[in-house]
Structure formats: C-alpha cells, structure tokens
Chain A
C-alpha cells in the first residue's frame, strides 16, 4: 500500500506549479499509470482526495490514464501488447522481450478551471455546503 506516498509525491509536484492555489483553480491532474507500476488506481484516487480535502485543491480530480504493457520482441522484432502474467511475444512465443511501455508513473498535465467555470464551481460548492 504505497499509494499514499505516491499521492503525496503527486501533490508535491502540483504544489511546485501552484504553491498557493486559490480554491477552484485546479480542475484535474492527469497521471499516466502503467499497468506494471503496481498502482491500484482506485486507491491512489482515494488517497489523493484524502490529502487534498482540507486544502484549496479540494475537488481537483485525479484522472488516471492506464498505459498497457507493450513489448518489443527481440526474436521477430514486432511490437505488441501483453497481459501479465504472460511475459512472452504473443506473435512468436519468444520470451526474450523488451518492455517498451507499461511501467510509467507520470504526472502528465494539470488542467485548470477557466474563470467562468471557476465561479460556477464555487457557487455550486457553496450550495452544497448549505
């Protein structure tokens, strides 16, 4: 269960761009999560919500883009997707493969509210509070 420390690192990166964000500045944070990165996406989203809930980033969504595991076969030189626990080329069966993607854990983008959206979001949140 290292999703909490991963969420804290993500928050740390967001804070480098927005050290003191006003409420409803950040709409979402997009993170690329490789299927071989040992991250449970639901748990990461839960942890991110938990650590931002009392901050001005509250409500910012953690959007995760799952990256499939792609390999390059050293035998037939073809690129294909694999599904663990099978680590072999689905075309020729060779197990001498290079993983070319699927281990990513990247902060990809930060999406901001534009001004109108920000006001609407604030109002709807105020309503919810009441």
Chain B
C-alpha cells in the first residue's frame, strides 16, 4: 500500500485569488467589507442608508451577490454609485474568483469603501475568504435572539455585528440583551451596532465607525 502525502488546503485556489483581491484592494487604499446574513435581514437596505448618509464624506462601490435577479444592484444603482451584480445561479456563497471579475468592472471608478454583499446564507459564506478587510454579520430582530448560537462559525469569523430592524423589537420575540450576550459568547471582540433602516436609528454610529476604519 502506498500513500502520498498531500497536506493542502481544499480551498487553496479560492484563498490564492482572495489574496490577489486583497492586494488590488490595498493598492487602491480601499476599506472592504463582506456583508453576510440570512436572506432578508437588511443587507441592501443598510448599504442604501450608508450611501445616503455618507455621500459627502466618502465614495462607495458595491458588489452584489444573489442567487438570482439583479434587483439589489438596481436598488443600489439608483444612488449613482458603481455597482456590479453577481448572479450565482444557485450557488450558496460568493467565491473570490467571482469577486475578482466583478471588481475588474468597477475598479476604475473613484471610491474608497467597497461593500461586497454576499448571498443571504449564514453557513457557507463563512468558509470563503474574498479578500475583504473584515466580515460584517447582520441579524434582524425578526430572526430571534438565538442565531449566534446556531451559526457560530459565521459570528466567530465576523468583526462587527449589526442588529437590524430594532424598530420591530416591541412586536417580535427577540431580546436585544440576549442576542448581544449570545453573540459575545461566541466572539467577545465583536463590535455591535443596533440599527433600523426604517427609522434610521443607529445608522450614524455605523457610518462613523466605517469612517474610522478607512485608510486615508
């Protein structure tokens, strides 16, 4: 019986392209965030609000990932920012190669902050580095306060947590305190924001934080 020792990362190809992305983002001095959440927690709404409230401070570009349709890119394009839609045709996550091609279509534009909106899914995107500076995980109050415990890998890999739809707290079975406690038990270094894209509560703090992270 003969055995060949391999010892190679299964996702090494993705990781190598992610490093190329990271190098290109660095060359342009970008601050890049990979937004991850379950479907419908408000990733696109948060991007829209961020663009609206920061248009005099910095320029944003967006890479949208969806299984189907370019509805999100159309929403973002209405704000006049560079945007590319990736349609994954069923794939449950974005991969670095898709982001590399998408970035090629917008890199000539003038922007300092890049949002990569991943496919709505709290499982698969956790394993795929896209070359971003950090992952931001969004949970909306309608999803309940137990999500960090159910999807620990995603919360462990993220640097910031946005608790969105806080205006709905009186109507849903979700305790902000328990949600925060659960998230911090998985990852005590998470920076937490509480936002509502309907009342705009908390958006300002979030935008200020982005500004503090920018590389100028």
A-to-B contact residues, CB < 8 Å: 1-2, 5-6, 9-10, 12-13, 17, 27, 31, 36-38, 84-88, 95-96, 99, 103, 105-114, 117
Contact = CB atoms under 8 A, between A and B. Distances in A.
28 contacts: A2-B91, A6-B10, A6-B11, A9-B13, A13-B8, A13-B10, A17-B4, A27-B1, A36-B156, A38-B123, A38-B126, A38-B127, A38-B153, A85-B149, A85-B185, A87-B152, A95-B188, A106-B6, A106-B7, A106-B10, A108-B6, A108-B7, A109-B3, A111-B2, A111-B3, A112-B1, A112-B4, A113-B1
Nearest to A28: B3
A110 B10 contact: no
Contacts of A2: 91-93, 123-124, 127-128
A106 B9 contact: yes
Contacts of B185: 85-88, 95
Given A36-B156, A110-B3, A9 B186 contact: no
Of listed B1, B6, B10, B153, residue having the most chain A CB within 10 A? B10
Given A85-B149, A87-B187, A99-B156, A105 B127 contact: yes
Interface in B1-48: 1-14
Given A2-B92, A10-B10, A95-B185, A111 B1 contact: yes
B124 A84 contact: no
B6 A110 contact: yes
B13 A38 contact: no
B143 to A, nearest CB: 16
Contacts of A85: 148-150, 152, 185-186
Interface residues of B, number: 34
Chief secondary structure at chain B's binding surface: mixed
A86 B8 CA distance: 29
Given A36-B152, A106-B7, A109-B6, 11 more contacts: A1-B124, A9-B11, A10-B10, A13-B6, A36-B153, A38-B123, A85-B150, A87-B186, A96-B188, A105-B11, A117-B1
A110 B123 contact: no
A88 B185 CA distance: 8
A87 B186 CA distance: 5
A12 B13 contact: yes
Contacts of B156: 36, 87, 99
Contacts of B95: 5
A17 B10 contact: no
